[in-house]
Amino acid sequence: MSAMAGHFLTIEGIEGVGKTTQVARLSRALRERGIDHVVTREPGGTPLAEKIRDIVLNNVGGESLPATAELLLMFAGRAVHLANHVEPNLRAGRWVVCDRFTDATYAYQGGGRRLTMDIIRQLEVMVQGTRRPDLTLWLDAPVEQALKRARERNSGGATDRFESERAEFFERVREVYRARAAAEPNRIHVIDAAQSADAVTAQMLQALEKRSWIT
């Protein structure tokens, strides 16, 4: 066990930017360097939080889920995830690599659903206290390109409640991501996800090298 707390690293981006691929590549790179870490996701990350994820994402054809209920469910899942998985691993000295976190809530529920940012901030403080990611890698690509990739990936398969949204929704999501990256440049590192997967991976590792987290 490390004597130091682990790094909390989050990966953000809209559908189709390659987050799943890049999280797996990042995990492999950390493993090759002998860095003890866990990979997780939001919503979800623990058995209970995964049940909440299923309600949020897969309530297709079910009872209407108001945007405010969606927001509260996201933070309910986050509270469980933080208490039962993220914080214990960080305290044990492990890195936590999380596929989406609170930036996604501002982007999707704030930007996409047009909910009030002040309410999201209040819930963030209530659930997280002072906990924030040490570094966020935002994989950014034009909405049209990203959604084309997502459609190709999901060809013939079912889509969740967010994947079913129109391009205008994701334009609003991307705008919030862009604004947050501009406001917190020391935490949020912007990566051009329109490039090849290899180029994206290289940019991610360079961001960690710049902070002397890896060599």
Q: Are 2 and 36 in contact (CB under 8 A)?
A: yes
Specify the CATH number for the domain of residue 93.
3.40.50.300
- Tell me what the mean pLDDT of segment 57-65 comes to: 79
Closest to 105 (Cα-Cα) out of 89, 121, 82, 87: 121
- Tell me what the mean pLDDT of segment 173-192 comes to: 98
Residue 156 domain flag: yes
Name the pLDDT band for 24 (thresholds 50, 70, 90). Answer: very high
Measured distance CA(7)–CA(211) in Å, rounded? 11
- Torsion sign across C-alpha atoms 188, 58, 160, 25: positive
- Give the list of residues 6+ apart from residue 178 with CB closer than 8 angstroms, or none: 140
Residue 215 domain flag: no
Measured distance CA(170)–CA(111) in Å, rounded? 9
pLDDT in tens, 122-171: 999 999 999 999 999 999 999 999 999 888 877 666 566 787 788 999 99
Residue 1 domain flag: no
Tokens matching residue 167: 């391009």
Q: How many independent structural domains does the chain possess?
A: 1
Residue 71 domain flag: yes
Q: Would you say residue 1 has pLDDT above 50?
A: no
Residue 20 domain flag: yes
Q: Are 9 and 41 in contact (CB under 8 A)?
A: no
The H or E element spanning position 8 is strand 8-12
Measured distance CA(91)–CA(143) in Å, rounded? 37
Measured distance CA(132)–CA(120) in Å, rounded? 14
pLDDT of 2: 43
Residue 2 domain flag: no
Instruction: Domain of residue 131: give its range.
Output: 8-210
